[in-house]
Structure 1
Amino acid sequence: MKLSHKFLPLIGLTFLVFSCEPKDELAAKRAELEELKNQSNELNTSIALLEEELMKMDPEFASQNQKSILITTTNAKKGEFDHYVEVTGSVLSKKNVVISAETSGRILEIPVLEGMRVAKGTVLAKIDAETIERSIDELENSLELATTLFEKQERLWNQQIGTEVQYLEAKNRKEGLERNLASARTNLDKAVIRAPFTGTIEEVQVRLGELVQPGMGMFQFVGESDLFIEADISESYIGVLSKGDSVEVSFPSINKELQTKVSSVGAIINPNNRTFKVEVFLPNMDLVKPNMISVLKILDYQSADAVIVPSYLILSDNRGDYVFTVENGKAIKKYVERGKTFDKETEILTGLTGSEVLVDKGFREVGDNFNVNIAQQ
C-alpha cells in the first residue's frame, strides 16, 4: 500500500524528534557528572584544609586522623648481658735483647740476615782476634817455661835446697801466666758472637768490616719463647681488672682466638695518656710472632637477667632516651634508662620489661600514638 505524499513530512519529523532525544540526554548527564566532580574536588580541598587546621589546633584530633605508617618490628629480649673492655695489645717477648760486642776489633764475618731464625749457639758474627791469638801463643810459651822452672824449684824446695822466696816466686809466676792465658782464651771466645737462645734476628746493627768496641750494639735478637701480650688500659678501669682475670684474645692477622688470663697489672699510671699496663699470658702458638697486633676482650660487667634492645633503636630528646613500642596498632613512646652498650646491644635498666614489641624499620618516621601498619616479614 502506498502512503499518500501528505503523510511523508509528518513521518520525517517524528523520526527526527525520537533520534535527537537520546543525544541530548547523554550530553546532559555528562554535564551533570562534570559539575558533581568539580563540587567533589572543591569539597575535598575544603576538607583537607579544615583537617590541617584542626590537626594544628587539636593534637588529639591529629593523632586520631594520622595515617598509618608501614613498619617492621623486633622484640626486646631478656637474658644474660656481658660487657667487655676491648683494647689493642702487642705481642712481646721477655727474651727481646740487644746483643753487644764484648771485645774490640774489626768485623770479619756476619753469616746471618735480618729475619733469620737461628738456634741457640749459632754464630752471628766473627770479630778479628789476631792480636788476642798472638797474645795466647806468647802466653803459652811463657807458661811452658814458667811451669818447667816451677817444677825444678819445687823439687829443690822439697830437698830443702834453695830459699822459700825462690819457690814462691816461681809458683806465683806460673799461676799468674795461667790466669792470663785463661783470660786471653775467654777474650778469644768473645770474638765469636753466638745466639744466646733460639730466636729471630730482628735487626743487624753493624756492617762487615766495621770496627766495634765493647758495649756496642750489634744485633736486635728476639726469642720465640716466653711471649706475652702487653696493653694499655684506661685508668677508669682501675679496680675492675686484677691478676688471674679471664681474657679473650684474638689475632686479626691470622684469624685465631684463645682464652687466657691476666698475668700482671701495672701499679703506675702513665701521665701522658692516663693508662696503666696490663700483661696477659700467652701460651706457645703457631704463627704468633713478637710485635703482632692482638685484640683483648676483658669482661668488666655481667648481668644475668637484663632487658636488652638493639642500640640503634634508642632515640633521645630533651627529656631523655626513648624507644617506640607497638600497642593496639599504635606506636607508643617509652622513655628508658640505658645501661652499658656492647656489640650493638644496650642494656635497659628501667622503662621496659623485656616483653615489648619494638618499632624497627620506620622507627624514625613514627611519633607517639601514630597509627602503624606492620609489614609482613
Structure 2
Amino acid sequence: MKALYKFLPLIALALVAISCATEEGVEAKKAELKELKTQSNEINSQIKELEAELMKLDPEFAKLNHKSILITTAQAKRGRFEHYVEVTGSVLSKKNVSISAETSGRILEVPAIEGMRVSKGQVLARIDTESIQRSIEELENTMDLANTLFEKQERLWKQQIGTEVQYLEAKNRKEGLQRNLASAKTELAKGVIRAPFAGTIETVQVRLGELVQPGASMFQFVGESDLFIEADISESYVGVLGKGDSVDVRFPSINQEIQTKVSAVGAIINPNNRTFKVEVYLPKVPMVKPNMISVLKIQDYEHNDAVTVPSHLILSDNRGDYLFVVVEGFAKKKYVERGKTFDQETEILKGLEGNEVLVDKGFREVGDNFNVNIAQQ
C-alpha cells in the first residue's frame, strides 16, 4: 500500500498530460474543419459563377445542367376587357317626410310604433279635439236657425214682402255659417293623424298625454315607393359617368342583383371627401327597403381588343413588371407594361401579343432560361 502511495503523483501527472494532449487535438481538428468549410464555400461560389457564365454562353450546357422545374401553364387572352368602379350606396326614398301636427291639443292615442309598416290612410295618432267638437255642435244649432230664417225670408221676398236687404242679410248669414261649419269639420279631421302614403315609421317623436301645437314634428315617415340609390363617387371619375349610363347593382343582404341606369349626376364636389353625388334609378324590387346598403358596379373603361393575363402572375423588379412565358421548354422573363386591373385580370398594354403560354403554378420557382416541365392538367 505504501508503494502505491509513492506512485500516485506520477499517475496524476500522466493523466494531466493525456488530457492536455486530447484538448489540443480537438482544437486542431476544429480549426482544420473550419478551414475546409471556408474553402468549400469559396469553391461552391466559384462553381455557381462558372455555371451561370456557361449557361449564358452555351445553351446546350444549360439544358444539361439546369434541373427541370414542374409547372402548369395559363394562356394569355386577347379580347374584350371591361373595367368597373365599385362603390357603396344607400337606398333612399323621395317620400321621406316629417309628419307634423296641424292643430293643437293633447295626444289621446299613439298606435304607431317605430319600424311599423303602415298603409295609406292608416291612423298614426289622435289628438284631443273636444273643444272643436263643441264648436261644431254650436255651429250646427245656429245653422238650423239661420236656415229657418233664410227660408222664411226667401218666401217673403218671393211674395214681394220685405226688403231685398233683409233677404240678402239672411242669405249671407246662412252661407257664412256654412263656411264656418266646414272649416270646423276640417279642423276636427286634423285631430286624426294618418299616413299620407304606404311606408314605414322611422321615428315617433310624441308620447301619450303630451300637448302638441301646430307645426310640432310627430313622426318621421318613409314611403316604400319612389326609391332610389345615392352614392358618393371620387372626383377622379368626373366626366366618366353621365346620366343614362348602365349600372349593375348588388344588394348583399338579400343576395340579389339588378341592372339599372344613372338618373342624376351631382354638379358639386364635396370639399370634405372630394366626392360628388350620383343618383341611380331603382325599379320596384321585392325585399328592398329604404336605408339598405347596395354595391354599385359602374363601367368606366372598355377595350374590345385587349391582351389580358391573370393578375397574380405579374412580378416586379427594379426594371419593371414582368412575367414568365414558356418558349421551347424554357421559362423566359418577359417585361410588360400593365394597364387596368379588374376581377383578377390585368390588361397588358405592351410586351405580349395575346397568344403566349404563361408559367402559372411554379412561376415563383423559375427564373430566366430555366428548364421547365409542364404538368398534365
Give the TM-score range, shorter chain.
0.7 to 0.9
Contact 1:247–1:262 (Cα < 8 Å) also in 2 = yes
Aligned 8 A contact 1:201 1:219 in 2: yes
TM-score, structure 2 normalization: 0.80
Q: Tell me the alpha carbon deviations over residues 85-112 of structure 1, each in whole angstroms, 9 at most, x when there is no partner.
A: 1111111222222211111111111123
Structure-2 residue corresponding to 1:343:
343
CA separation of 1:230/1:115 partners in 2, compared to 1, >3 Å: closer, same or farther? same
- Separation in 1, partners of 2:52, 2:327: 25
Long gaps (5+) in structure 2: 1-36
State the distance in 1 between where 2:57 and 2:38 align: 23
Q: Deviations over 1:339-367 (max 9, x none)?
A: 11101110111100111122223333433
Label 1:353 to 1:155 Cα distance change in 2 as closer, same or farther (>3 A): same
SS at match of 1:142: helix
- Residue 171 of structure 1: aligned partner: 171
Once residues 137 and 45 of structure 1 are traced to their aligned partners in structure 2, the CA distance between those partners, rounded to angstroms, is 114
2:57 is equivalent to residue 50 of structure 1: no
Q: How does 1:63-102 map to 2 (within 5 A)?
A: 64=62, 67-102=67-102
Q: Matches of 2:237 and 2:322 in 1, distance apart?
A: 28
Residue 53 of structure 1: how far off its partner (Å): 5.1
Other-structure match for 2:248: 248
For 2:375 and 2:43, the matched residues in 1 are separated by: 30
> How far, CA to CA, are the matches of 2:120 and 2:131 in structure 1?
28
The corresponding residue for 2:118 is 118
Deviations, residues 220-272 of structure 1 (Å, cap 9, x unaligned): 22222222222222222222222222221111111111222222222332222
Q: Which amino acid aligns with 1:74?
A: A
Instruction: Answer with 114-123 or 360-369: which moved more.
Output: 360-369
1:192 deviation in Å? 0.6
Counterpart of 1:270? 270
Identity %: 76
The answer to which of 320-329 and 335-344 deviates more is 320-329
Does the aligned pair in 2 maintain the 1:54–1:62 contact within 8 Å? no
Q: Does residue 329 of the first structure (1) align with residue 329 of the second (2)?
A: yes
Aligned equivalent of 1:306? 306
Separation of aligned partners in 1, 2:58 and 2:187: 97
* 1:196 equivalenced with 2:196 (yes/no): yes
Tell me, in whole angstroms, the C-alpha distance in 2 between the residues paired with 1:132 and 1:107: 15
Q: Give the whole-Å Cα distance in 1 for the aligned partners of 2:58 and 2:197.
A: 81
**Amino acid in the other structure paired with 1:48:** N
What is the 5 A alignment of 1:280-319?
Answer: 280-319=280-319
User: Which amino acid letter does the alignment assign opposite residue 236 of structure 1?
Assistant: S
SS of the equivalent of 2:333 reads strand
Q: State the secondary structure of the residue aligned to 1:273.
A: coil
* Cα distance, 1:193 vs structure 2: 0.9
**What secondary structure sits across from 1:296 in the alignment?**
strand
- Of 165-174 and 203-212, more deviation after overlay is shown by 165-174
Q: Aligned pair in 2 of structure 1 residues 46, 143: CA closer, same or farther (>3 Å)?
A: closer
Shift of 1:122: 1.1
Contact 1:56 1:62 in 2 (8 A): no
Alpha-carbon contact 1:54-1:61 (below 8 Å) kept: no
1:209 aligns with 2:209: yes
Measure, in 2, the Cα distance between the counterparts of 1:52 and 1:336.
29
Q: Secondary structure at the match of 1:132?
A: helix
Gapped regions of structure 1 (runs ≥ 5):
1-40
Question: Given residue 332 of structure 2, which amino acid in structure 1 is its aligned partner?
Answer: I
Q: Provide the C-alpha distance between the structure 2 equivalents of 1:284 and 1:146, rounded to a whole number of angstroms.
A: 55
Q: Is the 8 A contact 1:324 1:359 kept in 2?
A: yes
What is the CA–CA distance in structure 1 between the aligned matches of 2:177 and 2:214, rounded to whole Å? 24
Deviation, 1:128, is 0.4
Q: Which residue of 1 aligns with 2:11?
A: none
What secondary structure sits across from 1:155 in the alignment?
A: helix
Q: Find the counterpart in structure 1 of residue 257 from structure 2.
A: 257
Distance in 2 separating the partners of 1:49 and 1:286: 71
Q: 1:62 to 1:236 in 2, by over 3 A?
A: farther
Once the two structures are superposed, the pairs formed by residues 351-362 of structure 1 within 5 Å of their partners are: 351-362=351-362
Shift of 1:160: 4.0
Q: How far apart, CA to CA, are the structure 2 residues paired with 1:92 and 1:43? A: 77
Deviations 1:258-297 (A, max 9, x none): 2222222223322222222222222222211111111111
In structure 1, C-alpha distance between the alignment counterparts of 2:246 and 2:70, rounded to whole Å: 46
Partner residue in 2 for 1:143: 143
Contact 1:73/1:357, CA 8 A, preserved across alignment:
yes
d(CA) in 2 for partners of 1:347, 1:300:
14
CA distance in 1, matches of 2:145, 2:184: 18
TM value normalised by structure 1: 0.80
Q: Relative to structure 1, is the Cα distance of residues 325 and 105 closer, same or farther in structure 2, using a 3 angstrom cutoff?
A: same
- Is the CA contact (8 Å cut-off) linking 1:55 and 1:62 kept in structure 2? no
Task: Measure the CA separation in 2 of the matches of 1:317 and 1:177.
Answer: 93
For the pair 1:127 / 2:127, whether they are aligned, the reply is yes
Structure-1 separation of matches of 2:196 and 2:148: 40
Q: How many residues align?
A: 337
SS at match of 1:131: helix
